[in-house]
């Protein structure tokens, strides 16, 4: 559960991003899953501003993360979380209703919550534009009502399916980004949920590893 | 591969939707997968306008589809497609790179394409509003550039992974909705791809079954 150049699992991440994005790039998700499962991984860092042409054959949209495990290649953080979850049934049970719930909540995080929180994030970056000012109230109202439904579904549970899983890695990273926009009001039970997830030592290590990679790039650039 | 009241698989769909939504509601996806895999299913129809309170305990956001298979419950069309795919390796291979590619493209359809095509759909419904008029050019440019990347990745293949899979059920239904907005320009190879997917007999049967359910509801209402 550390970054190890000889590990069979390779996570592709960016070698540098602007300050506001640090700690929020999506390679955080597979890093976190590896840390939870006790899996070593190596990093492959690519430039965010001039993404290499060959990378699009591995990730059709040029995004990160991508993952290799030996000869096997994966893209999309949801597919990667599902794949890593299969390696550790603490992260994804092998069968039964809890497995089904985990997969459902993984998709829910990425298909029913993240699309709208990303819209809020884009709106934040465009807030000086007239469309963003006009759109903000209806978008915030929609997202907040969806977050209330999510809080209802979480109920008094510590995690989405009762026990921590890859679904929580997806959902907590999505909600953390939403909080970071500062444009949404979130039910207190969801704030507690995010805090509970982020308090896990595996998250702390994953975050430190992402930030360390940016630090190395800057140090190298400083030398050249 | 027909609607059968005694089938163990149950798909929840709406009993009625306005004309513009007919044939586009997402229960089309599991219906299509069942038809491809030769699985019978029964329907449970719920009202779209006054969704029953109990339904939120099965589908946290009150959306369709939801699926039951015996005692097992699932929500989110991505999770349901993955589950149904496991029943037929023509729809989801059991192992190897083609399985990985199928899962990656399933997530890509629902996490990297659909969020933006849904944004275009909402914009279409809001086109008289000032924010929608102002937002349209930048949104269309973004989505169209993403569709070009998708067309590059599809290349000369008939289907996303070379052979038809649950990923194509997700992607073709997403792109069909995008075409239907009339607000996007789509590369001709993607138009051909959608046409190829929709020409499958299983799609025709799934579409007919969704429309038939709306027809039955209207007939019953006409009687009462």
The model's pLDDT over A89-147, given as tens digits with 9 standing for 90+, comes to: 999 999 999 999 999 999 999 999 999 999 999 999 999 999 999 999 999 999 999 99
Q: Which of B96, B115, B150 to mutate to test the interface with A (most CBs of A within 10 A)?
A: B115
User: What are the 10-residue block averages of pLDDT along chain B, 224 residues in total?
Assistant: 90 95 97 98 95 96 97 98 98 98 98 97 94 96 97 98 98 97 96 98 98 88 73
- Chain A positions touching B107 (Cβ under 8 A) are 76-79, 110
CATH number of the domain at B96-200, please? Answer: 1.20.1050.10
CA distance A128 to chain B (A): 13
Strands A9-14 and A42-46: parallel
CA–CA distance, B217 with B15 (Å, rounded to integer): 6
Domain spans of chain B?
9-90+202-223, 96-200
Of the options 3.40.50.1820, 3.90.1150.10, 3.40.50.970, 3.40.30.10, the CATH number for the domain spanning A9-90+202-223: 3.40.30.10
Instruction: Report CA torsion sign: A52, A54, A59, A65.
Output: negative
pLDDT of residue A1: 57
User: Taking CB atoms and an 8 Å limit, are B73 and A111 in contact across chains?
Assistant: no
User: Taking CB atoms and an 8 Å limit, are B72 and A130 in contact across chains?
Assistant: no
CA distance between the termini of chain B: 31
Distances (CA, A) of A179 to A2, A77, A106, A144: 28, 20, 19, 11
Nearest to B78 among A74, A107, A114 (CB): A107
pLDDT of residue B217: 84
Contacts 24+ apart (CB under 8 A), B17-21: B17/B48, B17/B214
- Chain A positions touching B114 (Cβ under 8 A) are 111, 115
CB proximity list for A139: less than 8 A, separation 6 or greater: A116, A119, A120, A123
User: Taking CB atoms and an 8 Å limit, are A149 and B103 in contact across chains?
Assistant: no
CA–CA distance, B25 with B65 (Å, rounded to integer): 8
Written as six digits, the tokens of A101 are 């719930």
Instruction: Report CA torsion sign: A51, A56, A62, A65.
Output: negative
- B49 part of contact set with chain A, CB < 8 Å: no
Given the cut 0.90, state whether the ipTM is greater than it: yes
CA distance A80 to chain B (A): 8
């Amino acid at each position: 559960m550390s970054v190890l150049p000889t590990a069979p699992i390779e996570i592709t991440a960016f070698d540098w991003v602007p300050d506001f994005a640090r700690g929020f790039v999506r390679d955080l998700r597979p890093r976190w899953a590896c840390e939870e499962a006790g899996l070593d991984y190596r990093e492959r860092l690519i430039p965010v501003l001039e993404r290499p042409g060959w990378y699009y054959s591995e990730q059709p949209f040029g995004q990160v993360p991508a993952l290799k495990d030996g000869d096997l290649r994966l893209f999309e953080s949801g597919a990667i979380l599902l794949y890593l979850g299969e390696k550790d049934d603490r992260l994804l049970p092998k069968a039964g209703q809890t497995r089904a719930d985990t997969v459902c909540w993984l998709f829910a995080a990425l298909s029913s919550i993240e699309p709208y929180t990303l819209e809020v994030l884009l709106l934040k970056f465009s807030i000086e534009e007239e469309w963003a000012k006009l759109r903000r109230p209806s978008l915030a109202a929609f997202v907040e009502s969806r977050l209330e439904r999510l809080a209802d579904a979480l109920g008094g549970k510590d995690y989405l399916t009762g026990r921590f899983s890859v679904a929580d890695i997806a959902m907590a990273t999505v909600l953390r980004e939403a909080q970071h926009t500062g444009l949404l009001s979130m039910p207190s039970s969801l704030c507690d949920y995010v805090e509970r997830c982020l308090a896990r030592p595996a998250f702390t290590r994953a975050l430190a590893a992402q930030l360390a990679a940016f630090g190395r790039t800057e140090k190298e650039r400083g030398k050249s």
